Structure 1
Amino acid sequence: MFLVDLLFPNRCLECNRIIHHNEVVCELCFDQIHFTHHHHSESNLLLEKCRLLFPIESAFALMQFEEESTSQKIIHQLKYGSREKIGKIIANWTLEKVDFNSMKIDLLATVPLHPKKEKERGYNQLHLFADSLSKELKISCDHTLIKRNFYKKAQAKKRREQRTFNENLFSINKKISNQHILLIDDVFTTGNTMSAVAWQILKEGNNKVSVLVMAMD
């Protein structure tokens, strides 16, 4: 490991300083990340947005996903840079900033990639993140509860067609009821994806849904 670090040193994604191989940004650049602090603030824009789309218990976004920001660079490296281990780093940040005990979660569930896309990428960017949380919180995580039914987004021209597509984008692989599910995704943008997943879970039984994302746009 020492020789690898010497020949191919890990560098901060923001300023290019050499950093420890288990880090993604240096301490100075870490301080520039725009964390939301939703659990310590009366204002929670993610919760407000979700409430417009589906019944929700609680919601938390770790970071703001701003154009050319450090958080954007981190998540892009996680998703497209073959740096799956960044998921564990983000999980550690999340554990420091979210009071999961107050949420009373029964199960963690990740929003899935289509199998074809996951094969192309080589991994699902959410799995190590969610598994790290699961291990520390001692809450089970299910990566197979939700199934993505389509590989590409529908090219719907009408609102009705788009709505029908969203309703059928995901399905639930097993019977589940009386559970408080924490849905995990990387970035919350319009909320269409999260809403489609949430409604499938809510329709299955007397379930409750909360949301955790790495960042919100």
Structure 2
Amino acid sequence: MILDLFFPNRCIHCNRIIDPEVLVCALCFNRIHFTHYDYFENNPISEKCKLLFPVSHTYALIQFEKENLSRKIIHELKYKGREKVGKVLAEWTIERLDFKNQKPDVFVSVPLHPKKLRERGYNQLHLFTEKLSEFYRIPFNHELVKRNHYSKAQALKDKRHRLAAINPFSLTQTITGKHILLIDDVFTTGNTVSSIAWEILNAGDNKVSVLVMAMDV
């Protein structure tokens, strides 16, 4: 409480003082470009995924456009140490995503390499995934997928180097006959989720759907 008086929470866009659990003020909230994608119908992510691997369903919460507030939100989560942004993004997702009677069996988030995890101090997807798991009553598995190589941030790579990565992920457990919802922060080329999806699909009679915080348009 005392810290709130001296260091109040501020809107990440306009710097206006806001409630402690809020990310942006009411005025700036209207600047966020939500996608309004339908999880069960074709959308830009499903169209791209289908060129890379057999995908069941796809969803993105916000548009990751250049110089917009959505991009700033993701950067606050990934690079500014604000892990709790993941909880806010999960709350926004819960308000908009209904699995109806076709819930996936398990949530799996894209892992960080152990070295990157030590550097950052947290996986930006874990709190997001765990909040969704609690609400939808779907288990999560943070240990199923292992990142095999340490590399610099995906957002800082050019497209050629992103495409050059070989076998970046592997599975640590046997999994068959499951519908996996693969969770990532930003969908760009789709190569990250594709690499993991093929590991899951080749492991047994599994299905893969994709949920991302943001779609890079």
| Equivalent-residue separation in structure 2 for 1:109 and 1:84 (angstroms) | 18
In structure 2, what is the Cα distance between the partners aligned to 1:97 and 1:32?
17
RMSD: 1.9
Aligned position for 2:190:
191
TM-score for the superposition, normalised by structure 2: 0.92
Please name the residue that 1:65 is paired with. 64
- Residue 52 of structure 2 aligns with an amino acid whose one-letter code is L
Aligned mates of 1:41, 1:34 — CA distance in 2: 20
8 Å CA contact 1:14, 1:25 repeated in 2: yes
- What is the alpha-carbon distance in structure 2 between the residues aligned to residue 13 and residue 50 of structure 1? 32
* Corresponding position of 1:51: 50
Q: What does the per-residue CA deviation read over 1:20-78, in whole Å, with 9 as the maximum and x for residues that have no partner? A: 11011011111111000002896611111111110000000000001111111111010
User: Are 1:97 and 2:96 counterparts?
Assistant: yes
Q: Alpha carbons of 1:127 and 1:195: their partners in 2 closer, same or farther (altered >3 Å)?
A: same
Other-structure match for 1:27: 26
Equivalent residue, structure 1, for 2:147: 148
The structure with the largest helix share of the pair is: 1
Q: How many residues align?
A: 209
1:103: how far off? 3.5
Cα drift, residue 5 of structure 1? 1.1
Is the partner of 1:91 in helix, strand or coil?
helix
The aligned amino acid for 2:178 is: Q
Q: Percent identity among equivalent residues? A: 58
Structure 1 equivalent of residue 84 of structure 2? 85
Q: Report deviation, 1:15.
A: 1.1
Quick one: distance in 2 between partners of 1:102 and 1:59?
Answer: 16
How does the TM-score come out when normalised to structure 1? Answer: 0.92
Query: Structure 2 regions of 5+ residues with no counterpart?
Result: none
Distance 1:42 1:130, change over 3 A: closer
Amino acid paired to 1:187: V
Tell me by how many angstroms 1:125 deviates: 0.2
Instruction: Answer whether contact 1:109 1:143 (CA < 8 A) is retained.
Output: yes
Could you list the per-position Cα deviations for residues 146-190 of structure 1 after superposition, in whole angstroms to 9, with x for gaps in the alignment?
00000027x9xx99x92xx43x11000000000000000000001
Task: Tell whether 2:121 aligns with 1:114.
Answer: no
Moved beyond 6 Å, runs of 4+? none
- Is 1:12 aligned to residue 26 of structure 2? no
